Amino acid sequence: MKPATVAPKHVRADLARIASWIAPKSRVLDLGCGDGTLLAYLQANKQIIGAGVEISDELVIASVRRGVQVVQQNLEGGLALFDDNQFDTVVLSKTLQSMHNTEHILREMARVAKYGIVSFPNFGHWPHGLSILRGRMPVTGEMPYQWFDTPNIHLCTLKDFEDLAAALQLRITHTATFNRNKEVKLLPGWRSTLAVYRFESPNHQEA
């Protein structure tokens, strides 16, 4: 018997914003889905048809317990398991900065879905620059690792990501920035710790 879908009582502000950008009853792929929190929330509240990709044994089990369908796979291998335009939206939350081939995963996201949503730590947050001026790599809530054991290998600012999206012909449709669990609207490039972007695949943009 398939486990019952249980929606979390609370979701992070950034995940709630991501959910607001996803249409009801649409097809959603969550890359690096973790414990399935986002997909479980979407299944319960928007009746989406969802699937996740996760590498961790522990997190795969947690996702299944939430009633989320999961494929256990390393994202560095790409998304060859999925067909072109198989999904309406593909999500990559807090994982982009740890990918070895950033351009490849973004292109793959644009191939398998009409829309992509990514979130990543904002390296432009002002205390990061202050830490570097003091001779230290920043260690913060969104980047809690020391330089020698961090999984974050491709850190970027908001402008860096926007430039890359333009180079890959990904049209940005929505943007939100956060500091902890609060949305930041004033000077987001300096004051936000986390950025969330929604983009449209080149395959679905009007000529």
Which of 4-8, 95-99, 149-153 has maximum average pLDDT? 95-99
Task: Tell me, yes or no, whether 63 lies in a domain.
Answer: yes
25 close to 47: Cβ distance less than 8 angstroms:
yes
Q: Is residue 98 a contact partner of residue 151, using CB atoms and an 8 Å limit?
A: yes
What is the pLDDT, as a whole number, of residue 57?
A: 96
Higher pLDDT, 126 or 24: 24
In a domain, 2, yes or no: no
Structure confidence by residue, pLDDT tens digits, 33-70 = 999 999 999 999 999 999 999 999 999 999 999 999 99
> Rounded to an integer, what distance in angstroms lies between the CA atom of residue 194 and that of residue 119?
7
**Would you state the structure tokens that stand for residue 8, as one six-digit string?**
């979390």
> Is 5 within the bounds of a domain?
no
Enter the pTM of the model.
Answer: 0.87
Percent of the chain residues topping a pLDDT of 70 = 81
Question: Has residue 169 got a pLDDT over 60?
Answer: yes
Residues 6+ apart with CB under 8 A from 143: 121, 150, 152, 155
Phi-psi category of residue 34: left, alpha or beta, with phi > 0 → left and psi -120 to 50 → alpha = left
pLDDT in the model for residue 4: 43
Structural domain includes residue 119: yes
User: Could you tell me the pLDDT band of residue 190, with boundaries at 50, 70 and 90?
Assistant: confident
pLDDT, tens digit, 9 for 90 and up, residues 99-154: 888 999 999 999 999 999 999 999 877 555 556 656 655 566 555 555 555 555 67
If one counts the domains in the chain, the total is 1
Q: Which residue has the tokens 């072109």?
A: 84
Give the domain extent around 35: 13-204
DSSP track, 98-110: G-S-HHHHHHHHH
- Residue among 165, 139, 161 at smallest CA distance from 152: 139
In this prediction, residue 7 carries a pLDDT of 45
CATH code of the domain covering residue 143: 3.40.50.150
Residue 180 located in a structural domain: yes
Q: Is the pLDDT of residue 207 over 70?
A: no
**Residue 52 included in any domain:** yes
Q: In this predicted structure, what is the pLDDT of residue 132?
A: 62
The packing angle between helices 102-112 and 158-167, to 10°, is: 60
* CA distances from residue 140 to 40, 122, 128, 146, 180 in whole angstroms, order as listed: 28, 11, 8, 10, 11
Question: Is residue 8, in this structure, part of any structural domain at all?
Answer: no
Assigned domain for 182 exists: yes
Counting every residue written for the chain, the total comes to 207
